């Protein structure tokens, strides 16, 4: 996940001064930068230190796919792929548009030799290329390159041969490499993500089950080392439906920084683990997913989006049921991860939090429910006792809870506090009364966070 939080150049006009100086984040190490991409460090280093011949092969392949790919170009591409060294081939797949490469090749089923000659079968260039990348040269491809190949096969209509090729790539990728491959499919910037690939684009149930069984086996062998952050959108990420405490469409102060800190964890884990899970209807062609991704990017957040169905926007029970189905699907794809859930008390998310705990008790590290309807202290405690969910008002309080659970570090909580204050100061409230109520809420949360950070005597 990449969250870009703007820092005001002018001094804050807020009356609530930071409790500690803003933290500065050191530039990531070379190793951290490689891990940030979700694939092994050696692969990233290889790409940066590629020898001149490898770069020449990349330039040659780019030139061949720059325009229309005709039969002469197809033959040259296949020769290039077959003859490349492992390092050259991997760099080529990381450096060119693999989707254009795969879809530019064709299978020439019939070829007319001459006016009076017989009709013969032509070269199967696309099939040959797919077979090379998913079988013959698969061992030479890093998880990043494998993700590029799978994504290329996912675009457009995916026939049975391509589904088998995708399956072959998955079942021949193991351990943390498989985790890197899966995460690599979440960074397309559109609705073509891993969940859509496995549960929608792959039509053959047998192939789907083989992939899911392989993921389950590999996930069971890995100790959980990171969390996936699952978050609702409306009244959780920004005020939109029932929350009257902030102007409509206001992104809640501190939430983006808290997402980032949870994604980083206490060990500076790879980024890219934020997932928005919503009952918003998913339409044909990923229209809603792409629109939601665009909205999130406009609000400085990059994430995967899991949508629901049109019929699910009926009642809180139906909304919760749809979100839990999304969670069930997603959990099958990432069994090696723990889960943190963000929701609100306005649209069935309390039921979702309970359902997540019931379905994956060991993996559910924290469920946070944003109070937008005004729960009493007794109701909050009852909910915590029954479901384990923590109800909060300010995202500073949510950050404090994450800190006390060991999910973010001390510096991470300080950054959430600083971000919440800076972002609060930038909000144009609808009235002084509205602003005053939220200011008092934030100040109380800051004091609780300071108490949690205070040295123990």
Burial 404-421 (b: 16+ CB within 10 A, else e): eeebbbeebbbbbbbbbb
Please classify residue 178 by burial: count the beta carbons closer than 10 Å to its beta carbon, then call 0-12 exposed, 13-18 middle and 19+ buried: buried
Measure the CA angle with vertex 154, ends 151 and 155; round to 5°: 95
pTM of the full structure: 0.82
In order of 321, 332, 339, 356, 400, the CA distances from 361 in angstroms are: 18, 15, 10, 7, 22
- pLDDT given for residue 113 in this prediction: 54
Domain boundaries, the chain: 33-114+123-220, 225-453
Q: Report whether 345 contacts 370 (CB < 8 A).
A: yes
As beta bridge partners, residue 364 has 339
> Which pair of tokens denotes residue 80?
């290039």
Domain covering 225-453 assigned CATH 3.40.50.300 in the classification? no
Residues 16, 450: Cα–Cα separation, whole Å = 13
Residues 271, 264: Cα–Cα separation, whole Å = 6
- pLDDT given for residue 45 in this prediction: 35
> 12-42, pLDDT tens digit by residue?
333 344 443 334 333 333 333 333 333 333 3
For the chain, which residues score pLDDT lower than 50?
1-48, 283, 312
Q: What is the DSSP letter of 301?
A: B
Sole residue written with tokens 């229209």 = 287
Cα dihedral 293→298→303→307 (10° resolution): -30
- pLDDT given for residue 457 in this prediction: 67
Please classify residue 103 by burial: count the beta carbons closer than 10 Å to its beta carbon, then call 0-12 exposed, 13-18 middle and 19+ buried: middle
């Amino acid at each position: 996940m990449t969250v870009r939080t703007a820092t005001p150049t002018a001094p804050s006009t807020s009356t609530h001064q930071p409790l500690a100086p803003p933290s500065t984040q050191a530039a990531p190490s070379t190793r951290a930068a490689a891990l940030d991409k979700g694939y092994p460090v050696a692969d990233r280093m290889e790409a940066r230190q590629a020898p001149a011949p490898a770069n020449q092969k990349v330039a040659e392949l780019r030139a061949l796919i720059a325009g229309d790919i005709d039969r002469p170009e197809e033959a040259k591409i296949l020769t290039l792929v077959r003859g490349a060294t492992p390092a050259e081939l991997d760099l080529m797949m990381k450096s060119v548009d693999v989707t254009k490469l795969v879809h530019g090749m064709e299978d020439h089923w019939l070829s007319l030799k001459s006016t009076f000659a017989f009709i013969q079968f032509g070269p199967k260039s696309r099939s040959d290329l797919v077979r090379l990348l998913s079988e013959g040269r698969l061992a030479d491809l890093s998880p990043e390159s494998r993700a590029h190949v799978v994504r290329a096969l996912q675009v457009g209509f995916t026939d049975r041969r391509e589904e088998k090729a995708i399956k072959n790539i998955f079942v021949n990728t193991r351990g943390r490499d498989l985790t890197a491959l899966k995460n690599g499919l979440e960074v397309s910037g559109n609705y073509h993500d891993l969940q859509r690939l496995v549960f929608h684009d792959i039509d053959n149930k047998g192939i789907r089950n083989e992939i899911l069984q392989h993921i389950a086996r590999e996930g069971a062998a890995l100790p959980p080392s990171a969390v996936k952050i699952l978050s609702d959108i409306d009244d959780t990420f920004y005020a939109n439906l029932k929350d009257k405490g902030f102007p409509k469409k206001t992104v809640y102060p501190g939430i983006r920084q808290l997402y980032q800190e949870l994604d980083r964890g206490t060990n500076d884990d790879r980024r890219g683990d934020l997932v928005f899970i919503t009952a918003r209807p998913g339409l044909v062609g990923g229209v809603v997913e792409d629109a939601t991704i665009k909205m999130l990017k406009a609000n400085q957040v990059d994430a995967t989006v899991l949508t629901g169905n049109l019929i699910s926007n009926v009642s809180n029970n139906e909304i919760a049921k749809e979100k839990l189905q999304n969670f069930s699907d997603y959990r099958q794809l990432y069994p090696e991860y723990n889960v943190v859930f963000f929701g609100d008390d306005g649209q069935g998310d309390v039921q979702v939090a309970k359902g997540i705990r019931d379905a994956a008790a060991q993996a559910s590290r924290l469920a946070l429910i944003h109070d937008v309807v005004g729960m009493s202290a007794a109701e909050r405690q009852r909910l915590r006792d029954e479901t384990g969910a923590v109800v909060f008002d300010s995202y500073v309080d949510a950050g404090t809870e994450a800190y006390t659970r060991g999910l973010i570090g001390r510096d991470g909580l300080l950054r959430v506090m600083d971000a919440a204050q800076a972002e609060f100061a930038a909000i144009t409230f609808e009235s002084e009364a509205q602003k005053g109520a939220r200011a008092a809420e934030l100040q109380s949360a800051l004091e609780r966070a300071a108490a949690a950070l205070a040295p123990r005597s």
